[in-house]
Amino acid sequence: MSSAEMAVGYVRRLVEMETRGWGDQKDALKRVASRYRVPFWTLDRIRSGRAKTVDAGIFSRIREAFIDQCERSAARLLHDAEIEKAVNPHVHLDDLEDQIRALVARLENAKATAPRGGAQ
């Protein structure tokens, strides 16, 4: 799989995670572009599959953005599990929390071993 094809998947998943509802796709793409400092039109071309190649620095920043978004999602899940335990102390979520923490550790490892994106 080429880096362009992988980037399409990352960008589409980033937009999917960022979307707040029906009709929010362009605004979600703008938020992703702003948050991770990748030009909007670059992300739009990648998302739509029109980009045949992706610069290594851009690809690296997109991958880092995806890992960051996954970390945010995992942190929200942990927070939700802690709230659920506080509200319902009889509910046992220890296994689930352990799995989420393991995922967070894997994401941190992926971020640490990822090549750094170029400045733009």
Domain range annotation of the chain: 3-113
pLDDT, mean over the chain: 89
Separation of alpha carbons 78 and 70, rounded Å: 12
Separation of alpha carbons 51 and 36, rounded Å: 19
Task: Look at residue 117 and tell me whether its pLDDT is greater than 80.
Answer: no
pLDDT at position 95, please?
84
Cα–Cα distances in Å, from 63 out to 57, 76, 113, 120? 10, 20, 12, 16
Separation of alpha carbons 51 and 62, rounded Å: 14
pLDDT at position 119, please?
41
Give me the mean pLDDT over the 86-107 stretch: 85
Give me the mean pLDDT over the 41-56 stretch: 95
pLDDT at position 120, please?
38
Between 28 and 107, where is the model more confident?
A: 28
Q: What is the pLDDT of residues 70-83, one digit of tens each?
A: 999 999 999 998 89
Q: What is the pLDDT of residues 8-38, one digit of tens each?
A: 999 999 999 999 999 999 999 999 999 999 9
